Chain A
């Protein structure tokens, strides 16, 4: 299981929980697992999210490996200028 930290406004879709546990070995499985466990997250995940893995931000790396002891933070999809 991987502990995923969510940003505050998503907590209404996770029964108020700031961190949830998902069975996942990579970013894709994490996203699929989040949608399966918390369907209210689907619209946000479909619009796009980034993931911070041990402090490093990934935008679209589905197959980035996640280890059980990794720090995983879900973030909005990055934009820049």
Chain B
């Protein structure tokens, strides 16, 4: 770990205490979404479209309703019509109305006394479909003659005359492209595609809903944001927020895929209709067909470079599809594509097109991995063509403080150069390569953000501290929040317990996404601690008979502030807490705010691969992640995020993809056929944390969780391309695809 010079000396932050959820998780005590139950609970099951695109002519539920043991059947008619496009899309994705828009789209649901009865009831629901032409490829969907997935959804930014599937257009950049390309000695222009991938969380979506006759409801679910679940479900069911309490379970992975609702409104509707608690647990098949995945993409990149490695201009055309619903994810790709570089002329043009695929959900840095994969691939090819060192070339063009970024603002303190330099001097970069082994690298970028946040901190009379926050812990946040509370209060880490509140117990918190929690909730925790400290200082002042302003907090205790305040021995948090009932009542700290100033993040990934030219199989031999992570509050968790992102990116690069048949149906909705990397596929993932402080946080914290999935796609593609001597332009680089590329290349030679 490399410290780049933050001045504060930390006592707790930067250490590696045991994870607070460790024992529960390794002993099976942790309560996940499917572990919750209630007396009289019914089983909910969802009927899904077998067609990629079909008009729903009619739904006859009478036979299902007549089946003994069936307590409720719901369709789209059981939800409140939404005027707002955003809410209507969420609702339509949870339950189709006029059309089934993709294979697996929900059309009806039942609640019954057992899974067997529920399954039998689904077979009794008669849905009359009129099949429609479908399209699952983004480039085909943009053609004027393509089947129209949804009409009338194009935003005002889309020029007239395009396919009705084109819903969104955006453009970013600055400078004169023509002039920039005219200065280039070499120009490379290539086209790339990336497949849709799923977040691949091990825990399927699960929830239990219980609505009373008086309209009050409780919902337990696995989610990255219980407040967002409340907002969405309350709208779709016509409930007031105060009447719906949502409790987030322990979460078995999310990665962005659990930032919305799929089954939760359905379970509530079934509970409302049946008067019983209803539990829905998705099968893996349902998870693949009806949740997630990422966008699919088709990208053209053109970059000009001088012989000595200076990029003169960069241009990208990004065509993304977020499935059957409008998506703005291409905006993120367009902004991120060239963000790592200091360019005089740069422009990205983005388009989103509807396809008959499930509605896209975020996946760690949504939109950036695809765009940066294409850009970094072209930069690597330019380096090969010009015989340039790929790290030196990136250093020569790297964005730094004062650079006008490709997406508009001028960068403040950023850590790309330090990250590239760390990679350059790492032994991995200069280690000899065996014959047939390729080494690839890529830079990556992500924005990070803060958002609405609320934290309460209770000082218990025994001198311990309870912190209540509202963001499900998907990456170690309970540990990092406790550590920041301990740091600020000056008490040991093990005196603090952080819990995740339900929606009725704490003010609103945005979803756990955008790499926001350690930054934003940590900042709120520090502010809440300062609030509690001010109150504890005031109590000590009362006891000492001096002004509160004459007391300060040092090393976990109130002390007189200077010689004029009087001579009193330090009064510890525990001593103040012990007499709190006598000095004014319980002591608590609180802070609510909208956090901004998260600070962007850069990563550089380096990998070595061997490719079997006879089978096309790739073996990752060595992998090192370098990341500007800001202050690493709990370095083990930071390393875990960096390793996890790298592994998911390796899967994306080498094997993972949604495969659709000619009938528009998903062919590989299960982990046997959708292959994520397992431990035996991977080398140890080495990590180097660059601690470049974020000036927007008092401890220098910046987001960590999303950036590490950005560089692996290009790092792997560049390594494979160098190993086989063929420039790969499609992901995943599955064995058949590599084999085909190698054979085509060899046939030409």
Chain A residues close to B by CB (< 8 Å):
5, 7-10, 12, 18, 40, 43-44, 52, 54-61, 64, 71, 73-81
Taking the closest CB of chain A, its distance from the CB of B386, in whole angstroms, is 30
Taking the closest CB of chain A, its distance from the CB of B262, in whole angstroms, is 16
B contact patch SS: loop
Taking the closest CB of chain A, its distance from the CB of B148, in whole angstroms, is 22
Cα separation A64 to B450 with both chains bound (whole Å): 15
Taking the closest CB of chain A, its distance from the CB of B175, in whole angstroms, is 11
Q: Are B412 and A81 in contact (CB under 8 A)?
A: no
Q: Is B155 an interface residue (CB 8 A)?
A: yes
Please pick, from A10, A44, A59, the residue contacting B450 in the complex, using a CB distance under 8 A.
A59
Q: Are B412 and A56 in contact (CB under 8 A)?
A: yes
Taking the closest CB of chain B, its distance from the CB of A80, in whole angstroms, is 3
Q: Are B514 and A79 in contact (CB under 8 A)?
A: yes
A44: chain B residues at CB < 8 Å are 156-157
Beta-carbon contacts under 8 Å, B253-291 to A: 255-257, 259
Residue from A55, A58, A75 with most neighbouring chain B CB atoms (10 Å)? A55
Pairs A–B under 8 Å by Cβ, sample size 25: A5-B408, A7-B408, A8-B347, A12-B157, A43-B155, A52-B408, A54-B409, A55-B409, A55-B411, A57-B449, A59-B449, A59-B451, A60-B451, A60-B594, A61-B594, A73-B409, A74-B408, A75-B335, A75-B408, A78-B447, A79-B332, A80-B513, A80-B514, A80-B706, A81-B514
In the complex where A52-B409, A61-B596, A64-B596 touch, is A81 in contact with B365 (Cβ < 8 A)? yes
Taking the closest CB of chain B, its distance from the CB of A15, in whole angstroms, is 15
Q: Are A55 and B447 in contact (CB under 8 A)?
A: no
Q: Are B171 and A80 in contact (CB under 8 A)?
A: no
B706: chain A residues at CB < 8 Å are 80-81
Task: Determine the residue in chain A with the shortest Cβ distance to B172.
Answer: A7
In the complex where A59-B594, A60-B594, A81-B362 touch, is A9 in contact with B408 (Cβ < 8 A)? no
Q: Is B696 an interface residue (CB 8 A)?
A: yes
Task: Give 5 new A-B contacts, CB below 8 A, not counting A76-B332, A80-B366, A80-B515.
Answer: A40-B156, A60-B452, A80-B513, A81-B257, A81-B361
Q: Is B556 an interface residue (CB 8 A)?
A: no
For the complex of A and B, the 9 pairs showing the least CB-CB separation, nearest first, are: A81-B256, A80-B514, A8-B171, A81-B362, A52-B409, A73-B408, A55-B412, A76-B331, A9-B171
A80: chain B residues at CB < 8 Å are 256, 362, 365-366, 446-449, 513-516, 706
Q: Are B514 and A8 in contact (CB under 8 A)?
A: no
Could you tell me how many residues of chain B have their Cβ less than 8 Å away from some Cβ of chain A? 48
Q: Is B478 an interface residue (CB 8 A)?
A: no
Q: Is B245 an interface residue (CB 8 A)?
A: no
Taking the closest CB of chain A, its distance from the CB of B696, in whole angstroms, is 6
Q: Is B571 an interface residue (CB 8 A)?
A: no
Taking the closest CB of chain B, its distance from the CB of A7, in whole angstroms, is 5
Cα separation A75 to B334 with both chains bound (whole Å): 11
Taking the closest CB of chain B, its distance from the CB of A42, in whole angstroms, is 9
Q: Are B596 and A81 in contact (CB under 8 A)?
A: no
Please pick, from B170, B256, B364, the residue contacting A7 in the complex, using a CB distance under 8 A.
B170
B514: chain A residues at CB < 8 Å are 78-81
Q: Is B508 an interface residue (CB 8 A)?
A: no
Q: Are B366 and A79 in contact (CB under 8 A)?
A: yes
Cα separation A8 to B406 with both chains bound (whole Å): 11
Q: Are B410 and A71 in contact (CB under 8 A)?
A: yes
Task: Determine the residue in chain A with the shortest Cβ distance to B696.
Answer: A56
Q: Are A81 and B366 in contact (CB under 8 A)?
A: yes
B155: chain A residues at CB < 8 Å are 43
B449: chain A residues at CB < 8 Å are 57, 59, 78, 80
Q: Is B14 an interface residue (CB 8 A)?
A: no
Q: Are A57 and B409 in contact (CB under 8 A)?
A: yes
Taking the closest CB of chain B, its distance from the CB of A53, in whole angstroms, is 8
A18: chain B residues at CB < 8 Å are 174
In the complex where A59-B450, A59-B596, A61-B594 touch, is A79 in contact with B408 (Cβ < 8 A)? no
Q: Are B596 and A9 in contact (CB under 8 A)?
A: no
Cα separation A39 to B364 with both chains bound (whole Å): 35
Beta-carbon contacts under 8 Å, B480-538 to A: 513-516
Beta-carbon contacts under 8 Å, B195-210 to A: none
Task: Determine the residue in chain B with the shortest Cβ distance to A12.
Answer: B157
Q: Is B329 an interface residue (CB 8 A)?
A: yes
Cα separation A61 to B593 with both chains bound (whole Å): 10
Q: Is B470 an interface residue (CB 8 A)?
A: no
Please pick, from A5, A8, A43, A58, the residue contacting B596 in the complex, using a CB distance under 8 A.
A58
B169: chain A residues at CB < 8 Å are 9
Q: Are A75 and B516 in contact (CB under 8 A)?
A: no
Interface string of B227-261 (1 = CB under 8 A from A): 00000000000000000000000000001110100
Taking the closest CB of chain B, its distance from the CB of A41, in whole angstroms, is 10
Task: Determine the residue in chain B with the shortest Cβ distance to A73.
Answer: B408
A76: chain B residues at CB < 8 Å are 170, 328, 331-332, 335
Task: Determine the residue in chain A with the shortest Cβ distance to B173.
Answer: A8
B513: chain A residues at CB < 8 Å are 79-81
